[in-house]
Amino acid sequence: MGAGRKYMKSDKFYVATVASDAADVAEEYELGIEIDEFCTASNMDDENFKELDLSVRKKMKISHSHIFHAPFNELFPAAVDPLAIKLANKRFEQSFHLAGSYGIKRMVVHSGYVPVLYFKSWFQEKSVEFWQKFMSSKTDDFHIMIENVLEDEPYTLAKIIEGIKDKRVSACLDIGHAHCKSDIDLLEWIEVLGPFLGHVHLHNNDKTYDCHWSLGNGSMDMNKIMEALKKNSPENITFTVENQECRESIQWLDENGWLKK
């Protein structure tokens, strides 16, 4: 489905470049792309950068809208060790400047929460402190979306966004992470984080592992989730499909009418 059909340019839907077919699907369906090439921080460094930079710029030419996904491995904004905080800040600053070189004004960052390692009260306080300081030097048109990964509930992230008190900072709800890392119903996640949402990562799983399956495969009722997001989130919310191959998920969104809503 989709061959020969003309699609309206979508300002809401993106595909992650981790998908092998991301560029082709983004071009065919006129979608945005979320740049994942630098999720590993060392890819921004000299020996790895040149080839990836060329690949990213090539993909950007076929897409009208772009989001930058910052690196996340071993980056902990609420770390106890001050040196770990310095590393996180260095890599996020590097990401900010790289995104700027591409003309990208929206960046996804992981929260860095690790169960057991952090008391939630500490994590909340130090996260607010880190992101307020980070954003204090950024331009008015630059935005970050803080993504849940290992969180077992939505309340702490909501409090962090609320505590930062910056319209440029919002939440990125990864529904796949929430589904497999939490016993709290996804509809409650959406209700709690809804007012703070700027972006959503879409993929499915069987609740036992973060499989990143296509939207029609897994134990989540994706139509129910999309309806809840539509009801509880700001109108300008955006979505990225995160699969190893994204065509099946985009076809699912198309067939279920979500690309037109």
* Domain assignment present for 1: no
* Domain assignment present for 3: no
Rounded Cα gap, residues 247 and 137, in angstroms: 39
* Domain assignment present for 8: no
Rounded Cα gap, residues 168 and 106, in angstroms: 9
pLDDT at 6: 53
Q: Is the pLDDT of residue 38 over 70?
A: yes
* Domain assignment present for 4: no
Rounded Cα gap, residues 18 and 55, in angstroms: 12
Q: Is the pLDDT of residue 76 over 60?
A: yes
CATH number (domain holding residue 163): 3.20.20.150
* Residue range(s) defining the domain that contains residue 128: 13-260
Rounded Cα gap, residues 190 and 194, in angstroms: 5
* Domain assignment present for 7: no
Q: Is the pLDDT of residue 1 over 60?
A: no
Q: What is the number of domains present in the chain?
A: 1
* Domain assignment present for 179: yes
* Domain assignment present for 2: no
* Domain assignment present for 222: yes
Check if the beta carbon of residue 75 is closer than 8 Å to that of residue 92.
yes
**pLDDT, tens digit (0-9, with 9 covering 90-100), for 133-158:** 999 999 999 999 999 999 999 999 99
